[in-house]
Structure 1
Amino acid sequence: MDVRTALRLVRRHWWIVLVTLMVAVGSAALITVRTAPRYVASVTFFVTTPSQGVTDAYQGSLFLQQRVKSYADLLRSDRLAQSVVADNAVGLTAGDVQRRVSTSTETGTVLLRATVTDTDQTRALKVTETLSAKFVELVENVETTGDGKASPIKIEVVGGPRVSSHPVAPQPTRNLVVGGLVGLLLGMALAVLRGMLDVRLRDAAGLQRVTGSALLGEIPFESGARSAPLIVGEAANSARAEAVRKLRTNLRFVDVHEPARVIAVTSALQGEGKTTLSCNLGIALAEAGWRVLVVDADLRRPKVADYLGLDGGVGLTDVLVGDVQVGDVVQRWGDKSLLVLPSGSAPPNPSELLGSKAMADLLLALRESADIVIIDTAPLLAVTDGVVVAVQADGALLITQQGKTSRTKVAAAARSLHSVSVRVLGCVLNMTKVTKADAYQYEAYRIAATTKPLVPAERAPAAHRGESGGVSGAGDRTQELSRLPR
């Protein structure tokens, strides 16, 4: 993975970075608040020995530098800690004193520094004072020769004991900065990891690779599409409507030598927007002057009639079982050359009904009665209905919602079509995210180019719900309806 890909994943999952950063900073602040303040008391010793002449002074200095290293360990010895506890009732054990004492030396010198860290400022100072006095006594006793001669080593206190007036820990600024840096780095790592583990389709290039078919369109997401899914009225001038028109153009030129007249629209899973796209594609084709027939072949969860405001009680299933003639149940929608065949009553055997000879004969008849037949089918991975219908069509259009469906499921859906030699016309990435720059550019172009609505305001309600409430009477059949078999 290169740096650009990692940054793109961080940008995509920015909320992970933000949450991790907030948690890290909050944890650092909590630790800082709950940590007891600590004070440091210190004392500095100077180690010396009598010398005569320059040579003796040089040799004595080397001797003392080696000696100082031993004295640093002596400051933390059990013997000294026990002496401190016995001489001063500080409420600590010898082990507590040893844990609070630390030493340091400066290379090339004979200076020895001892520090005592404690949460009690007064106790830190008392321990340091007692420690300095007892250390001098201990060195004299240890260095005294066996014949009673005085120690050749002399320890003098040259600094302290003194205690810090302010706590040395915790340090709020440092803790918050460190917590922020740790949170930022950890958040970026988690964002990259989440992106690497995310198997959902995120872009058009990935959809083309998985399906092995051409990308015919990208339909942008619009928040108002849930309440107003059709590209009529004000929505006719939206970016979503323009994307459907681009899909219409691309679909008509997929293969100019063998154009698809019966198109099955399907998806891998439920809820990816195939029904909405089927209706809008039919509207867009009708606006261009084509005689279009939309067939709701999703017999398990039919939605076409609901979206178009039509009566779906009688339709495809009733035609297939021979109860009615197709010309009696096809409904004209709006003032365009758009006809709709609803799903009809729910059958107990949808797959068998859609794969019957009656369905094949019906599609042959519909092919001769309309320029383009759009069939909304069931999802491919849920049931076999979609494949059964797609086999009988001229080609299939595979719809995938961005950021919802995994690559494996889309690949499985594409394989189910290819396995039965279905001609996949192309794929469509639905509900794509549009950048603010692209949205602003389209809006500016629309305002500049549009002088009046594409659909007159007084006709918009009728177009949205269908004329006469959506069901045409026998005496109101248009020329398109007269072409359908009875």
Structure 2
Amino acid sequence: MDLRTHLAVVRQRWWLVLATVMIGLGAAGLVTVRTEPLYTSSVTFFVTTQSQGVTDAYQGGLFLQQRVKSYADLLTSDRLAHAIVAAGPVGLTADEVRARISSRVEANTVLLRATVTDSDQARSLRLTEAVASHFVSLVQRLETPPGAQEPPVKIETVSGPRVSADPVSPRPARNLAVGGVLGLLLGIALCVLRGLIDTTVRDGATLQQLTSSPLLGQIPWDVEALTAPLIVGAASQSARAEAMRKLRTNLRFVDVHESARVIAVTSAVQGEGKSTLSCNLAISLAEAGWQVLLVDADLRRPKIAQYLGLEPGVGLTDVLIGEVDVADVVQPWGDRSLLVLPGGSMPPNPSELLGSKGMADLLRALRESADIVIVDTAPLLAVTDAAVVAVQTDGVLLATRHGKTTRAQVATATEALEAVAARVLGCVLNMAKVVRADSYQYEMYRTVVADPPPAAPISGVPAAQGVDWPGGAELPPVGAIGDEPGPPRQDSRTVSATPTQELTRIPR
């Protein structure tokens, strides 16, 4: 993953970064509130010695610089702490006094600073005064040679004791800044880590590479689809509906030399939106003037009739076992040229039924009775139903859900289609994340441009000849994406659907 990919991952998971920043700020605030305030007081000593002449002064300076380092350790020694405690009650033990004293030597100087840190401001000042008094006395005793009156080293207090007016700890501004920065870094790290270990498909380029097929569409995520999955009514002007129209257009140019009139729609696993995609693709094709037949071949979990509000009791299963004629169970939908063949009864052997000669004969009959046949099938990795149906169609459309389907699942599904030599027309990334700028541009365009008139039938498909399907739905003659107009059809004909039934188009 390059830098741009990392930035894209962080942008996609901005909420995680925001959450870690808020956690960092909250933790910093909690620490600030619960931390006991600390005050400091300090005193600065100047160390000097008697010298004569420049040479003595230089040598004396070197001597004092080395000596001052020893005095810094003496400030935090047990002997000084015991001397302070013995001089008067301070409410602390010698160890506690020693722990509160710190020392620092100013670089390349003979200045020595002692700092006392305590939660009690007044006690901090008293301890510093005691340090200033007892430290000078201690050094004089230690440095005075036996029999001498004065030590060769002299220590004077040049600054302090002085106590801070405000506590040095905690520092709210600093703590919050540190907490926010740490939260930001943690959030970015988690996003990048999540991106590195995330094996789901999150962009069209990855899906196209995995399937080795063209990316025909990216259907954006729309929260309204949870309650209104179909692109009808107000949803017909949404970005989701426009994406379906782009998918419809792209299907025209998949292969102009070998048109696909019977298209299976499948996915790798359950819950990728393939049934909704099948319905909306059929609606979109019908809007363009095509005569569309939508077949629910997912006999294990049929959803087409439920989405379209049709009677699901009798359908494909009943046709395949010879109980009803296909013309009696096909249901028209809406005012569009869309017919629906529901799944029907739940069979005990869906794979055998879908792979039977009756299914192959039925698809051949339906091919001659509609411009486009959309077949919704079961997921590829769950059962073999989709692979069985795929070999009987002109091509397969593979739907993949953004952020849910893994790359391994897509690769396995593609291998399953290749194993049966099924023709993969292309792939669709469903519920994709759309760049906000693109969505905004579409909404602006939709609000300022009047709705175009209803689309005319695609070139190559002649107008309806005036024939009816039993049940009242008008059917134009057969056409295919990219096909040239064929010779006029007879007003009445009979097509073999299964060995035991016939599918009839009757003139008005």
- The TM-score normalised by the length of structure 1 is 0.90
- How far did residue 376 of structure 1 move? 0.5
1:393 maps to 393
Distance 1:143 1:406, change over 3 A: same
**Kept after mapping to 1: 8 A contact 2:260/2:395:** yes
Question: What residue number does 1:172 align with?
Answer: 172
After TM superposition, the structure 1 stretch with the greater mean CA deviation from structure 2, 333-342 or 114-123, is: 333-342
Task: Please tell me whether residue 270 in structure 1 is matched to residue 270 in structure 2.
Answer: yes
Partner of 2:310: 310
Distance (Å, rounded) in 1 between the aligned partners of 2:439 and 2:298: 34
Given that residues 42 and 160 in structure 1 are in contact (C-alpha distance below 8 angstroms), is that contact kept between their aligned partners in structure 2? yes
Does residue 420 (structure 1) correspond to residue 423 (structure 2)? The answer is no
Q: 1:245 to 1:148 in 2, by over 3 A?
A: closer
Q: What amino acid maps onto 1:290 in structure 2?
A: W
CA contact (8 A) 1:265 1:396 kept: yes
Report the secondary structure of 2:317's partner residue.
helix
Q: For 1:19-41, what per-residue CA distance to the aligned partner results, in whole angstroms no more than 9, with x for missing partners?
A: 11111111111111111111112
Task: Give the alignment of 1:255-334 within 5 angstroms.
Answer: 255-334=255-334
Change (3 A) 1:243 1:156: closer
Deviation per CA, 1:236-275: give whole Å up to 9, x if none: 3333333222222222332222212211111112222211
Contact 2:339 2:473 in 1 (8 A): no
Q: Does the 8 Å CA contact 1:72/1:104 hold for their aligned counterparts? A: yes
The answer to whether the aligner puts 1:197 opposite 2:197 as a matched pair is yes
The 5 A counterparts of 1:68-147 are 68-147=68-147
Question: In 2, distance between residues paired with 1:251 and 1:141?
Answer: 99
Q: CA deviation at 1:473?
A: 10
**Do the aligned residues in 2 keep the contact of 1:369 with 1:483 (CA within 8 Å)?**
no
SS at match of 2:82: helix
Counterpart mapping for 1:363-442 below 5 A: 363-442=363-442
Deviations 1:445-474 (A, max 9, x none): 33444357759xxxxxxxxxxxxxxxx996
Over 3 Å counting, the alpha-carbon distance change for 1:175 and 1:365 in structure 2 is: same
Cα separation, partners in 2 of 1:44 and 1:324, compared to 1, 3 Å: same
Specify the SS of the correspondent of 2:187: helix
**Alpha-carbon distance in structure 2 between the residues aligned to 1:477 and 1:61:** 110
Flag the 1:346–1:46 CA change in 2: closer, same or farther, 3 A. Answer: same
Matched residue SS, 2:381: coil
Task: Mark the CA change 1:327 to 1:413 in structure 2 (over 3 Å): closer, same or farther.
Answer: same
Shift, 1:377, TM fit: 0.4
Asked whether the equivalents of residues 236 and 454 of structure 1 are also in contact (C-alpha less than 8 Å), the reply is no
TM-aligned CA deviation for residue 479 of structure 1: 5.8
Show the 5 A alignment for 1:13-52.
Answer: 13-52=13-52
SS in 2 for 1:146: coil
Distance 1:452 1:209, change over 3 A: closer
Name the residue aligned to 1:469. Answer: none
Deviations 1:322-376 (A, max 9, x none): 1112122122223333221111111111112111222122222222222222111
Q: How does 1:143-222 map to 2 (within 5 A)?
A: 143-222=143-222
Change (3 A) 1:77 1:240: closer
- Distance (whole Å) between structure 2 residues aligned to residue 108 and residue 242 of structure 1: 76
Query: Aligned partners of 1:345, 1:397: CA distance in 2, in Å?
Result: 25
Closer, same or farther in 2 for the Cα pair 1:422/1:66, shift >3 Å?
same
Whole-Å separation in 2 of the counterparts to 1:233 and 1:155: 92
1:109 to partner: Cα distance:
2.9
User: How many Å apart are 1:402 and its aligned residue?
Assistant: 1.8
The one-letter code sitting in structure 2 at the alignment partner of 1:282 is: A
Q: Distance in 2 between matches of 1:314 and 1:9?
A: 47
Q: Identify, as 1 or 2, the structure richer in helix.
A: 1
Aligned to 1:342: 342
Cα distance change, pair 403–66 in 1 and its aligned pair in 2 (3 A): same
Partner of 1:224 in structure 2? 224
Q: Which amino acid aligns with 2:424?
A: V
Identify if the C-alpha distance between structure 1 residues 163 and 284 changes in structure 2 by more than 3 Å, giving closer, same or farther. closer
Write the distance in 2 (CA, Å) between the matches of 1:262 and 1:146.
113
Offset of residue 209 of structure 1: 0.7
The verdict on how the C-alpha distance between 1:53 and 1:431 changes in structure 2, with shifts beyond 3 A counting, is closer
- Structure 1 residues 138 and 447: CA distance shift in structure 2, 3 A: closer
CA deviation after TM superposition for structure 1 residue 314, in Å: 0.7
Secondary structure of the structure 2 residue equivalent to 1:428: strand
- Partner letter of residue 10 of structure 1? V
In 2: Cα distance, 1:247 partner to 1:435 partner: 18
Gaps of at least 5 residues in structure 2 are: 456-467, 477-491, 496-501, 504-508
Does 207-216 or 145-154 show the bigger shift?
145-154
- 2:62 and 2:452 map into 1 onto residues whose CA distance is 99
Q: What is the aligned partner in structure 1 of residue 506 from structure 2? A: none
Deviation, 1:154, is 2.2
- SS across alignment from 1:36: coil
The unaligned stretches of length 5 or more in structure 1 are: 456-471
Q: CA deviation at 1:148?
A: 4.6
Query: Does the Cα contact within 8 Å between 2:297 and 2:316 map onto a contact in 1?
Result: yes
**Cα distance in 2 for residues equivalent to 1:269 and 1:254:** 25
Q: CA offset at residue 318 of structure 1? A: 0.8
Counterpart Cα distance in 2 of 1:278 and 1:258: 21
The change in CA–CA distance for 1:242 and 1:154 in structure 2 (over 3 A counts) is: closer
Report the RMSD for the aligned CA atoms in angstroms.
2.4
Moved >6 Å (runs of 4+):
none
Q: CA–CA distance in 2 between the matches of 1:448 and 1:145?
A: 99
Output the amino acid matched with 2:37: P
Corresponding position of 1:461: none
- Residue equivalent to 2:250: 250
Instruction: Give the AA of the match of 1:356.
Output: S
Q: TM-score normalized by structure 2? A: 0.86
* Aligned-partner SS, 1:369: coil
* Structure 2 letter corresponding to 1:184: L
Contact 1:299 1:347 (8 Å CA) reproduced: yes
Q: Report how many residues are paired.
A: 470
